[in-house]
Structure 1
Amino acid sequence: MAPNNDNGNNIGNSSVEERTQDETASLTRDTQGRRRASDVLSKELEEEVLGPVEDTLCGLGSLKGGFLQQLAHPGTYLVISSVVALVQGMFFTYSNATLSTIEKRFRLPSKVSGFVTTGNDVIQLLLSIHITFVAGRGHRPRWLALGMFCAALGCLLAVIPHIVFGAGDLPIQPLTAGQSVTRDSLLCQARNSSDTSCEQGKKAIGVEQATVVTLHLMAQMLAGFASMLYYTVGYSYLDEAVSKKKVPLFLAVSGSLRILGPVCGYSLAGWSLSYWVDPASPPDIPPRHPSWIGAWWIGYLVIGSALLVITWSLLLLPRMLPGARRRVLHTLRNAAMKGKDSLYEVIKTLRPAKRTKGQGGIWSSVRRILTNKIYMLIIANQVLFWFAFFGYITFKPKYLEHQFKMSAAKANQYIAGAAMAATLVGWLGTGSALTFFRPRAKVVIIFMAALSLTNCILHLCMVNISCDHSTIHGMDMVIQIGDEAPTRGVIVESTKNDSCSSGCDCSPKFSPVCVDGMKNFYNPCFAGCTSSSKRNGTKVYEDCKCAVDTLMPSYTTAQKSDTGEKVLDKVEPSVKDGYCQHDCPTFYMYLALTVLTKMTHAASRVPVNLILFRCVEERDKDVGLGVFNAAIAMGASIPAPIIFGWAIDYSCRLWENSCGQQGFCWLYDLDSYRSILHGIPAALMACCLLTEIFLLTQHKKIHFYGEEEEENSDKISSADATAEETTALNSEAC
């Protein structure tokens, strides 16, 4: 037995010795590779490619490093960038939410207001490629700070029209308690004298319109400059701040925090529009009245102040985060171990630390990008997606006001509530799934196609959801006469149906009144009202003959005369400003579909961003995002509001006219409006589905998580650490 044990021990010792020899050989090879990497990748070359180590220090000027260096962490940038996106989102959603109010105040048609919203995208179309190329090779956080300062300046420009022109003409003059008015342009009265100041009024309106369009267009351009920088160099800075495996989760968290921007924007708009445009002198009409003009300018002051605060926080961030520098350095060392040629092949794909002289670098990047099949397919897909989104979201608040007879403030509150929960689920759900389950590109693209199909079906369902609305008495007469005499009063002839208001010189101004919550009239004149007064803080109209006649016998009671005979005595109905309130049960169905639509929109954002990040080389990432923004601006966000606005104007039934000059739309053909607003997005989402089917054929070329690169990076770190330990032990032995 002893010899056998000796043989076993010999075999065991032999295997241990072989393992030791293998480990020693491996360490020797690693050490040699590390030395070879040091020879190929010198300190000077490191600084030339990555920049000096001082670029990773936080602070400004002489105040760098120290306690400020604690800010040099991906989590810090995640928070700051999320706040940046939040406030930017507030600006654009607030602009959309107050658009119908600005139309009303300055008498703008939808196609003109839609043109104003394109300022954001015009700047991206003109400057996106060049600015992102320069900013991507510069100090990206400071470029972002410049963008935020420009957006704050844009908020100030947006407020200037209110500062210069004030509240404008009040639709109804405020009354004191108990005061009665018999001379009012909206009351039934004898023929009004002609307006001799019409030419002056037309010139004043023209000056106001030109000013507000110019200043708001400039404000949108400045905000667009900030948005362009955030969605290009800001995104690339976030992508390199963490490892590729964690990028989906970071995008999900950033997107989830970013959705608070639209929510806060709509909430801020709802609060601002609940106040009269001149809070010091509100009229005697409720916010639901079509003539109500909210304080649209207040929110711009709030957003501008927040943007100035954010500017300072961005100035403190380093040019490159320390963790990002370490990861790139590991990649370079791994390539250097394979030789000089391999190293320079990797260096060519990286973002240079210094700005490239001349513009040749831009066009080389653009050429590589435009020949990338995956990139071009995702561009086509997103142009269709954003065309549908921008057109829909721009005119949705106005649709809710007209279709469901809501005030602008209430409409924005509903949109804010629907957006928050749905978008949270969409962003966090897809981001978490991509991070923890890591589905392959094929599965992700199929998921995107399913979302497009669902979105198409949801929009088609919303086309069929409507409310029944009561007739507005007098409106047909105004529409019939309006084209012939838009600046004159409407003389109501004595006929069987409208003899109650015969002889009234009714103003064509739309200011609906409600009779006891049952019937709407075009304005007090068409209801035959001859006076008004204020009771219990509410303006009421009196002596409204038509209101009684159209509701007989509801407003008659039997009385006895002096001779003892029964006669009918008319009871004065309640006539107040605004539409009659009515319940619309289908609104909650529409709200539910809106929530699902928001969820599908949000769920597709993380996969699209990942494809954009991964389908181009590192050196082309900033320019790739710049080209993407320019394409979206040219193909979607510029034409969409204009085309949607033109189509929606086509469905208008009643235009506001001042001195013969057409302004904004008072009333729409709601069936046409509903079909346009939801039918166009449904068709575009069907086209999105086709592009995703083509994208599916390229799925093998898309690598979301970069596993090979990450594993190689981890191996390099382990090899470096082991080699250093071995060298230290050898030194001690000597």
Structure 2
Amino acid sequence: MSVDKKPDQEEEFPFLKNGKLAKEKPHKDIRCGFWIFKGPFLQRLATEKAYVLIYGLGGCLMSMSIAYFTGTLTTLEKRYKIPTKLSGLIIVGNDVSMMITSVLAGYFIHKGHRARWIGFGYFTVIIFCLLTSSLHFIYGPGEDALKLTRQFGDYDNSSDFMSIAHKDHKLCMTTDPGCIEQDGTWVPPLVMFIGQFIAGIGISLFWTVGIAYMDDNISKEKTPAMLSISAFLRMLGPAIGYSLASVCLRVYIDPELDPLIQPGDPRWLGAWWIGFLVLAGVTFIFAFLMTMFPKELPSAKVRRINLEESGMQDPKEHKDLSISDMVRSIRRLVTNKVYMYNTFASSFYLFGYFAYWIYTPKYIETQYRQSASVATMATGAIALGFSAAGVLISGFVVSKYKPSGRAMAAWNACVDFLTVAGILCYVVIGCEGSDKLSSMAVTSADNCSASCHCEYVHYAPICSPNNDTYISACHAGCTDKVKDQLGRTLFTGCACVAPSNSTGVPNLRYAVDGACPVDCTKEFIIFLVVMCLLKLIGSSSKSTSLLISLRCIKPEDKSLALGLGGLISSLSAFIPSPIFFGWLLDKYCLVWGKTCSNKGNCWLYDTESLRYAFNLTTALFIFLGGIFNVLVWHHAEDLKIFDDEPSESNKADDKVDNIKLNTKGEDVKISEKLENS
């Protein structure tokens, strides 16, 4: 059957209704593209699968950008001399903007062109990347980096450069060398914070608007699988972001210069800015593609019209976008017990587990004495792989077996309690050798090094023949250093070291450069196994918790509910959690890298006390989240997650295949009339 459109129907989309043509809204709302970027090929992309793919990959790039910034943060601190406490405030910038924009975006963009708003959110990530990378082009590689290159050092080899350009302040000194001055500036931290703040707006749009658009344009039976697929794609972002940071930091900050030091040197500054340019370029492609999607997918429009024809939905039902109506909507949400209990459960879980997301690399380095590269790989690639698997498995199980809302809430509670049990295992998975290193915290008040002026000597551990580690040669009272036959650096005249004649020289007090070896491989592997199991189990509740939030509210409150949930999460978890656990880590610091202006960063922790305090605190908050999930289970008895007759709701998807649209809006043809429609 073919129906040609009459001239007076130029901007109307006809559907079969009781054997007659029914006029609907202009079909430009379901047409892909804009301006000159439109055509039959683009119209084929107006599908649920295409949206989930672009949305998921865009989210992957968004999480890659944030993870890349975190991976290069230590290099940025060294380059622009930023204290750790200030870098923590910079990271919180995106959470502050999310908190401000989430509710407003979720409510007022509900009736707008949501796909283009999501694309705008991707463009904010591009601005974040370009703003951050612009610091390199404004300030250059820096004097400290230039001094360590052959072109600017004017030395034939690194040994000449090191011996002439630097004095050794690690030894015991008879005069006070003074504190270390910092010549930083306030502009780079401000630019980074602004970039993070702008990126937070995009993240808010991605969550509040993107998920609501997906849920409104995809049938309820497909939503769990689509949510899991998009979550899986997003979770690849941090792993790839950390890997990209690792690759870029192996290149010197100015690739055209020839450095005199190797990447293992603590003064090495990698090309942190390259990755931001790469991410900005790739993100631009997906931001452009996202803006191509229509205001409403064709399949969703057919489903909506079917509901209106059957009387299940009022076609004239439009909310008045006003502040007073938003207040009434918020009041309706906060009195929804299932929604609020589920939101509080997520907030407590996030408060506790967000600490592992940020500080797991540091935890692995301090507790199990692993290198930064190993710790990052374990956190970013291995563990997140199990998280992605958990999301996919849970999405498959939910889509196949369609559990009730109460069953999902019960599983969420079980996940929380299993996570608490795993975290309690962290408490007992300690390394004795690592705990022993805490005893090296010898202060300058000790008699053997009291007159050595070690207060501002940086952390440079040495190992005595008795396998005792000291903070530095100064703290061990060493007065000189030599090279032995094996090329090792020996510090001699160490007043705090017991005499030894192992070198053939009687009563020689010496120590070897570097900390005493500690083997925590076994404990680290056990920790890694437990962590991967927790990632697998914990990620399985992501889609179920989100489904409960989407189904326990009215459809018109969906975007606002996501925005309100983001606001509560930011206020109760994402902003206070890094600050609180950062304070907790500093509380158990034994050795600080002091400077003239502040106490600097921490070099040595009381690992045993920190392990108990850190893990037990996180376990407490996650346990409270489990209690709230039990309350969700109690009140979710009548919660409906899926349609009663999924085959009926999918008729719209079949019907769309029989509708052909041309992009100019001149002809609309219905190729075949559905029976019993």
Q: TM-score band (shorter)?
A: 0.7 to 0.9
Which residue of 2 is the match for residue 452 of structure 1?
416
Offset of residue 343 of structure 1: 5.2
Deviations 1:682-703 (A, max 9, x none): 1111111111111112223311
Query: Matches of residues 210-289 of structure 1 in structure 2 within 5 Å?
Result: 210-274=186-250, 280=257, 282=259, 284=261, 287=264
Which of 656, 668, 693 does residue 630 from structure 2 map onto?
693
Query: Matches of residues 548-587 of structure 1 in structure 2 within 5 Å?
Result: 550=498, 552-556=500-504, 575-576=512-513, 580=517, 582-587=519-524
Mapped to 2, the partners of 1:516 and 1:37 lie a distance apart of 95
Deviations 1:545-592 (A, max 9, x none): 4399657233227xxxxxxxxxx597998x445674634310001111
More helix by share: 1
Mapped to 2, the partners of 1:104 and 1:436 lie a distance apart of 51
Gapped regions of structure 2 (runs ≥ 5): 1-15, 150-154, 659-669
Which residue of 2 is the match for residue 135 of structure 1?
109
| Distance change in 2, residues 1:446/1:523 (3 Å) | same
Q: Which AA in structure 2 matches 1:477?
A: T
Deviations 1:238-267 (A, max 9, x none): 223321111111112222222211211222
Residues 1:80 and 2:46 are matched in the alignment: no
Which residue of 2 is the match for residue 399 of structure 1?
363
Query: Matches of residues 366-515 of structure 1 in structure 2 within 5 Å?
Result: 366-467=330-431, 468-469=433-434, 471=437, 475-478=441-444, 480=445, 495=448, 508-513=457-462
Q: Which AA in structure 1 matches 2:49?
A: G
Which residue of 1 is the match for residue 89 of structure 2?
115
Offset of residue 290 of structure 1: 6.3
SS in 1 for 2:56: helix
**TM-score, normalisation: structure 2:** 0.83
Mapped to 2, the partners of 1:650 and 1:111 lie a distance apart of 13
2:219, 2:650 within 8 Å by CA — same for their partners in 1? no
Offset of residue 671 of structure 1: 2.2
Query: Matches of residues 16-415 of structure 1 in structure 2 within 5 Å?
Result: 43=23, 46-47=24-25, 52-103=26-77, 110-163=84-137, 164=139, 166=141, 169=144, 176=157, 179=160, 181=163, 184-188=167-171, 191-192=174-175, 201-202=181-182, 204-205=183-184, 207=185, 210-274=186-250, 280=257, 282=259, 284=261, 287=264, 295-335=271-311, 344=314, 347-348=316-317, 356=320, 358-415=322-379
Residues 1:618 and 2:555 are matched in the alignment: yes
Deviations 1:158-184 (A, max 9, x none): 334555274575799789366483862
Range with greater deviation from structure 2 (527-536 or 502-511): 527-536
Offset of residue 286 of structure 1: 6.3
Please identify the structure whose Cα radius of gyration is greater: 1
Offset of residue 406 of structure 1: 2.8
SS in 2 for 1:658: coil
Q: Which AA in structure 2 matches 1:324?
A: A
Residues 1:676 and 2:617 are matched in the alignment: no
Deviations 1:595-636 (A, max 9, x none): 112112210011011112211222211111111111111111
Which residue of 2 is the match for residue 489 of structure 1?
none
1:115, 1:641 within 8 Å by CA — same for their partners in 2? no
SS in 1 for 2:310: helix
Offset of residue 660 of structure 1: 4.5
1:155, 1:304 within 8 Å by CA — same for their partners in 2? yes
Mapped to 2, the partners of 1:328 and 1:715 lie a distance apart of 9
Deviations 1:409-454 (A, max 9, x none): 2211111233233113211111111111112222222111111110
Q: Which AA in structure 1 matches 2:204?
A: M
Which residue of 2 is the match for residue 6 of structure 1?
none
Q: Which AA in structure 1 matches 2:379?
A: I
SS in 1 for 2:521: coil
Deviations 1:184-238 (A, max 9, x none): 232437545755x97xx35x23x2xx33432222222122111111111111122
SS in 2 for 1:700: coil
Mapped to 1, the partners of 2:147 and 2:473 lie a distance apart of 12
Which residue of 1 is the match for residue 4 of structure 2?
none
Deviations 1:357-409 (A, max 9, x none): 54344333323222222111111111111111222211222222222223322
| Distance change in 2, residues 1:670/1:100 (3 Å) | farther
Mapped to 2, the partners of 1:717 and 1:230 lie a distance apart of 29
Deviations 1:94-130 (A, max 9, x none): 3333445545655655544332222111112111111
Mapped to 1, the partners of 2:652 and 2:145 lie a distance apart of 73
The RMSD of aligned alpha carbons is 3.9
Gapped regions of structure 1 (runs ≥ 5): 1-33, 336-341, 482-492, 558-567, 729-734
Q: Which AA in structure 2 matches 1:546?
A: C
Mapped to 1, the partners of 2:508 and 2:575 lie a distance apart of 58
Mapped to 1, the partners of 2:348 and 2:253 lie a distance apart of 37
**TM-score, normalisation: structure 1:** 0.77
Q: Which AA in structure 1 matches 2:211?
A: Y
2:465, 2:500 within 8 Å by CA — same for their partners in 1? no
Mapped to 2, the partners of 1:640 and 1:411 lie a distance apart of 21
Which residue of 2 is the match for residue 601 of structure 1?
538
| Distance change in 2, residues 1:596/1:103 (3 Å) | farther
Residues 1:544 and 2:508 are matched in the alignment: no
Deviations 1:658-679 (A, max 9, x none): 1242222222222233233322
Which of 644, 656, 662 does residue 581 from structure 2 map onto?
644
| Distance change in 2, residues 1:255/1:178 (3 Å) | closer
Q: Which AA in structure 1 matches 2:458?
A: K
Q: Which AA in structure 1 matches 2:71?
A: A
Mapped to 2, the partners of 1:165 and 1:678 lie a distance apart of 41
| Distance change in 2, residues 1:600/1:366 (3 Å) | same
SS in 2 for 1:188: coil
Which of 569, 574, 581 does residue 632 from structure 1 map onto?
569
Mapped to 1, the partners of 2:117 and 2:475 lie a distance apart of 59
| Distance change in 2, residues 1:278/1:664 (3 Å) | farther
Mapped to 2, the partners of 1:667 and 1:283 lie a distance apart of 29
Deviations 1:252-302 (A, max 9, x none): 222222221121122223334445656646565763x76666554443333
| Distance change in 2, residues 1:476/1:515 (3 Å) | closer
Mapped to 2, the partners of 1:514 and 1:438 lie a distance apart of 61
